[in-house]
Chains A and B, each alone.
Chain A
Amino acid sequence: MQGRKWATGLAAALAALAGGGAALAAGSEIVIGDIDDLSGTYADAQGVGGIEAIKMAIADFGGTVLGKKIVLLTADHQNKPDVGASKFREWSDQSGLNMLIGGSNTGVNIAMAKVAAAKKVPLFVIGAGGASLTNEDCTAYTVHYVYDTTSLANGTASTIVKSGGKTWFYLTADYAFGSQLQNAASKVVEANGGKNLGSVRAPLASMDFSSFLLQAQGSGAAVLGLANAGADFSNSLKAANEFGITKTMKPAALLAFISDIHRLGLQTAQGLYLTTGWYWDLNDDTRAFAKRYFAKMQVEPTMDHAGAYSATLSYLTAVKAVGSADSDKVMAELKKMKINDMFAKGGYVRADGVMVHTMYVMQVKSPQESKYPWDYYKVVKQMAGEEAFGPITGACVLAPK
């Protein structure tokens, strides 16, 4: 009898210890992390501005949730998957991380999604576009919030094919994001009766794109699909103008941020079609956010900045609603609730992790059409979330067709 009592006592003590450990991990703070490209080619799409947007969201929420202070950790992943994943793991193990905002770069976010699944920490992907994050690489803790390669292709590629650009050649960034974007666009082009004539894969951060562009021109295609981003996108469009390629081919930006258009200038970028999840000048709500953001950063926010703000608010709202920062409870709430703020109206998180919301096909204004600073886009088409993000593909194990 005595021995049994001992055993029960020991078990109780162990349980108390384990419980104590969990309480320690939950901590007296809600810890939000942000791992992004803070210094490289994608740093202006989200980067430091993304951190500012997250801070704005935390402040707007009141700085606390469930009586706990909200703290923000930030790190630069330098576009290296191992750096992003190990930082995420470190924060989960040592800093009691509750949620991570994943910045640009699909490759890094695929690596971080694996950590999210292992550590059961929600990951809100903002700046990365690869649709594999909610297909083959999906996890129960991933939310893909702003845009993905599918919605970009459904917007830009279908608009251009329908307006007569039937034959396509792609200039593709040679990594996960570029090939996913090209594949998505190719499918949309074919589905709408167009033809894909070929592609050339340019290494990331190539010095000069003119060789690749001459190959594109040699294909005789009507449309030049730019399946790249950031400085690569700007440099290739600049060279296409310089070499007179835009006279025979219509360039299509499969991903462009307003920061890219700002750097290129309207003279070079005018007439370009692109798809975006958000634009600062859509309505009074977006303009109000943009005004506050501009006061801090002296540039208008990109869709990623608005998305980082909205994602932070959505997470905190879900935590408040369930009265707990328990990841499974929060994820269940996130997949139940509607997202209504200046970023999305009636947005919702699908079983595969896609945040379904309205996307916009835009055309870049000419210098004459632009009436005030940053007046860059006109809305060509407003796409309902279901049309933009398409049906559930079945490639994600959590979301059968």
Chain B
Amino acid sequence: MFGVPTTVILGQLMLGLVNGAFYALVSLGLAVIFGLMGVVNFAHGAFYTLGAFAALLGLQWFGVNYWGALVLAPLAVGILGVVSERLFLRHVYKLDPLYGLLLTFGLSLIVEGSLRELFGSSGRSYPVPDALQGAINMGFMILPIYRAWVILASLVICGGTWFLIERTRLGSTLRAATENAQLLQAFGVNVPLLFAATYGGGVALAALAGVLAAPVIVVSPLMGNSLVTVVFAVVVIGGMGSILGSVVSGLTLGVVEGFTKVIYPEASNIVVFVIMALVLILRPAGLFGKE
């Protein structure tokens, strides 16, 4: 294939899946928030960054280890999400979606600016947990155990979220709230609480992705910034609000990007947007979206 040896192809496929797993996880939260609330959450990257910082500061200040951070960081960031939904976001539901976008964009600027003010822009390193140190020699490549763990963890979380929303009673209540909130409220369901919890859950997913990313990249206030634009493209390609779409397109685009890095590296950070443009022309609702 393009004169590239098979071992290289297998290696890049593996790396593509690792990156795709991140894309899937981050876009998942975005898809949940858009699909159920109709909010274009531009602050998603900022919550991802906050997740990584929560893990880092938890370790430095309170000695919370990686496994603790996997639970506590999303919890803390999720609560912050609920608070910001109650304080700000709920006021714009009745307005044009553009207002939600601007509001969350503003939130993300505030979060990023504050982190930069407090910690500088170059960031800090977060250690790989001892249990996940080392690497597996797969013959065609050396795969660090931590990266394999990222794929596994993200597939489990994505699958769990899909199941929760598509196959449980809570999920069907949530979906009903998007269809007709007033009617559901008349049935005695606390819809505002449902919305707050959904937003909290969505940003908690972003924070979880941040914790997973912390050991492999430098934890810096800018880390969410570069990710969030790609992830928006992933969600658009998958179909705005489609959970399955965001997971499948996240993984696929990770792989496509990986191969671009071999064939024409200079284009690797725009290939996702080229695909997005093509999808928007040929199938505006996205690959898995409802027309």
Contact = CB atoms under 8 A, between A and B. Distances in A.
Contacts of A332: none
A41 B121 contact: yes
A74 interface: no
A23 interface: no
Contacts of A243: 135, 142, 144
Nearest to B135: A244
Interface in B119-159: 120-125, 128, 135, 141-142, 144, 146-147
Contact of B122 (A218, A230, A238): A230
Interface stretch (A5-13, A131-139, A209-217, A316-324): A209-217
A214 B19 contact: no
Given A235-B218, A242-B128, A207 B226 contact: yes
Interface in A73-116: none
Interface in B193-221: 216-218, 220
Interface stretch (A143-151, A183-191, A256-264): A256-264
A193 B147 CA distance: 39
A43 interface: yes
Contacts of B12: 211, 214
Interface string B250-291: 000000001001100110111000000000000000000000
B144 A201 contact: no
A215 B142 CA distance: 13
Nearest to A245: B142
B122 A43 contact: yes
A211 B258 contact: yes
Interface residues of B, number: 38
Given A243-B142, A264-B125, A211 B216 contact: no
Interface string A228-242: 001100110011001
Contacts of A265: 125
B53 to A, nearest CB: 14
B116 interface: yes
Nearest to A174: B266
B8 interface: yes
A202 interface: yes
In this complex, the member of A174, A208, A243, A268 whose beta carbon has the largest number of chain B beta carbons within 10 angstroms is: A208
A152 B180 CA distance: 64
A231 B265 contact: no
A212 B265 contact: yes
B24 interface: no
Contacts of B22: 207
B120 A206 contact: no
A259 B125 CA distance: 12
Contacts of B116: 39, 43
B122 A231 contact: yes
A203 B122 contact: no
Nearest to A242: B144
Given A39-B121, A231-B123, A238 B135 contact: no
Given A39-B116, A201-B266, A207-B230, A214 B141 contact: yes
B218 A234 contact: yes
A218 B8 contact: yes
9 contacts: A174-B266, A211-B262, A211-B268, A212-B265, A214-B15, A231-B220, A238-B217, A242-B128, A263-B124
**Among all A-B residue pairs, the 7 with the closest Cβ atoms:** A44-B122, A211-B261, A43-B121, A203-B269, A244-B142, A242-B144, A234-B218
Interface of A: 39-41, 43-45, 47, 174, 200-203, 205-208, 210-212, 214-215, 218, 230-231, 234-235, 238-239, 242-244, 259-260, 262-265, 268, 299
Given A210-B15, A210-B18, A234-B218, 20 more contacts: A41-B121, A43-B120, A43-B121, A43-B122, A45-B122, A174-B265, A202-B261, A203-B270, A207-B230, A211-B15, A211-B261, A214-B8, A215-B262, A218-B8, A235-B217, A238-B125, A239-B216, A244-B135, A263-B123, A299-B120
